[in-house]
Amino acid sequence: MQPAVEFRGISKHFGAVKANTDVNFTIAKGSIHGLVGENGAGKSTLMSILYGYYRADGGEILLDGQARRIHNSQEAIALGIGMVHQHFMLVENMTVLDNVMLGSEGGVRLKAKRASVEAELREICARYRLDVDPLATIHDLSVGAQQRVEILKQIYRSASILILDEPTAVLTAQETASLFEILRLFKEQGKTIILITHKLQEILDITDTVTVMRGGRVIGAVPTAGTTKEALANMMVGRPIENNLPRAPYNPGAPVLQVENLQLRDDQDVKLLADIGFTLRAGEIVAIAGVSGNGQSELMEILAGMRVPTSGKLAFLGKDLPFNGRSDPDGLPRTFRELGIAHVPEDRLRDGVVKAFSVMHNTILGYQDKLKNRWGLLNFKAIAARCDALMKSFDVRPNNHDLRIGLLSGGNQQKVVIAREVLAQPKLMLVGQPTRGVDIGTIESIHAQLLKLRDEGVAILLVSVELEEVRALADRILVMCGGRITGELKIEEFDTTRIGLLMGGEHKS
């Protein structure tokens, strides 16, 4: 098939960090091409070069057989390249129409152009089955609908090459199936899709060819029909992946967290949580399964001190958590950390790290007071040594504590967040979506860390939309729908059909 994109000898360095080294491969026109590799393998950097965010230090890119120098994203868009980022580039208080038009409003005849663009967007939505209302406001849309808006933007801009970076990281199974139908329609139109994902089953389900990167280099490219998840995983990490990690027998201890009749209403008196009750014991992992947006996030935020419940009783190690009739959570997260509650938030970029800070500074966020000497000063030499040991223990790459954490891949940022909370030696660990957007090797590492904590007697409350992750880690499963717990299952009762019904609102009898 005719090449749509050719990478020839692409190299890119960030100081001493070699993000891409002599990258060579071809993407066929009218195909869905998978790009996989560990976090930090150079995938996103390479796609950012193609989209004009970065300039390569060496090598060249050919589009339709012609060498192109792409200096910025505007030039990439003009050449028919579109990119849907893992973290959406949308203005939440604007409409779909306004987001699509942003940057190309067209002068004084705005009203006439808005009507024209709205009509065109409705035609595109019908043709590609995008199911998006151009007049809807972004913050009123589900995550899956927001992603369809991003795709809508690229189609409106006449993209013939579409790059998707971890597009299913925040989608439900149903939303993923809908996305894949859209991508197949896109392919039928003769368009080219580049799919970056860590979910190897999705690679097998949707792509024609897959390229594997490791350490900034291309390890190989294979037809998808002729490979397996195990072979791809081995190429990605250079070793077999352990699917069944060792764990001590289930032997829970004393109650650590007790929740009774927890209620939460928002400022408009909308009920977000209702009648939540459960007990979490030392040395067990209780997983909360459910479609995103059914109260899991609000529950975790309450337990981390980020929200104040409307009513209910919450006890930690036999003592009531100090909400004390508060209406706001000012100071509570710090208090909860001091009590021994650690928190790995669902959105690491919003709540887990400060992108402009170094890796070293991010490793002490929230715990800096414990690291001060008797004069109230931080010993940065000791903190740097502590950070270096942490990075080595958790295999954070690149191993440079002075790097801005925003320059690390998502998976390596996640390792830093988890390492920081583990080092606090908590009694209760709140873990939200621990492996969202991370590679298969990092998933294995994170799961091993959580199981080690569990075996050491830590109580862990896990929120995950990945049922395979729930199966791999949980001792018990709570299922949530509409802000309520619809059922509780022991891990021996794990059944995807039954869990799916509970996630849909059916209550366990």
Are 38 and 132 members of one domain? yes
β-sheet with 428-432: strand ranges across: 341-344, 428-432, 459-463, 285-289, 476-481, 484-490
E strand residue ranges, 107-189 = 161-165
pLDDT of residue 111: 66
Domain termination residue (choose one: 386, 420, 454): 420
Q: What CA–CA distance (Å, rounded) separates 83 from 150?
A: 8
The model's pTM: 0.78
pLDDT of residue 113: 80
Q: What CA–CA distance (Å, rounded) separates 97 from 15?
A: 41
Are 101 and 169 members of one domain? yes
pLDDT of residue 199: 87
Average pLDDT over residues 398-424: 91
Residues 6+ apart with CB under 8 A from 104: none
Are 155 and 233 members of one domain? yes
pLDDT of residue 112: 66
Are 218 and 253 members of one domain? no
Of 348, 361, 368, which Cα lies nearest the Cα of 415?
A: 348
Q: What CA–CA distance (Å, rounded) separates 163 from 49?
A: 12
Are 229 and 276 members of one domain? no
Residue 249: CATH number of its domain: 3.40.50.300
The one-letter amino acid at 479: V
Residue 509 pLDDT > 60, yes or no?
A: no
- Read off the pLDDT of residues 181-239 as tens digits, 9 standing for 90 and up: 999 999 999 999 999 998 899 999 999 999 999 999 999 999 999 999 989 999 998 88
Number of structural domains found in the chain: 3
Q: What CA–CA distance (Å, rounded) separates 179 from 186?
A: 11
Residue 392 pLDDT > 80, yes or no?
A: yes
Domain termination residue (choose one: 375, 399, 420): 420
Task: Decide: helix, strand or coil at residue 61.
Answer: strand
What per-residue string of b and e applies to 1-10 under the rule 16 or more CB within 10 Å gives b? eebbbbbeeb
Are 212 and 112 members of one domain? yes
- Read off the pLDDT of residues 443-455 as tens digits, 9 standing for 90 and up: 888 999 999 999 9
What are the backbone angles phi and psi of residue 289, rounded to the nearest 5°? -105, 150
Of 38-42, 279-283, 364-368, 478-482, give the lowest mean pLDDT range: 38-42
pLDDT class of 442 with cuts at 50, 70, 90: confident
What are the backbone angles phi and psi of residue 225, rounded to the nearest 5°? -65, -20
Are 45 and 166 members of one domain? yes
Average pLDDT over residues 298-316: 96
Percent of the chain past pLDDT 70, that is, above it, reads 98
Are 378 and 449 members of one domain? no
Task: Decide: helix, strand or coil at residue 129.
Answer: coil
Helix or strand holding residue 44 (H, E): helix 43-50
- Read off the pLDDT of residues 258-267 as tens digits, 9 standing for 90 and up: 999 999 998 8
Are 205 and 67 members of one domain? yes
pLDDT class of 508 with cuts at 50, 70, 90: low
Farthest CA pair distance, the chain: 70
Are 147 and 229 members of one domain? yes
Domain termination residue (choose one: 420, 435, 460): 420
HSE-up of 475 (CA within 13 Å, CB side)? Answer: 22
Tokens matching residue 195: 């799919």
Q: Which residue has the higher pLDDT, 7 or 1?
A: 7
Are 322 and 233 members of one domain? no
Q: Which domain holds residue 370?
A: 349-420
pLDDT of residue 86: 76
- Read off the pLDDT of residues 16-53 as tens digits, 9 standing for 90 and up: 788 999 999 999 999 999 999 988 889 989 999 999 99
Are 363 and 461 members of one domain? no
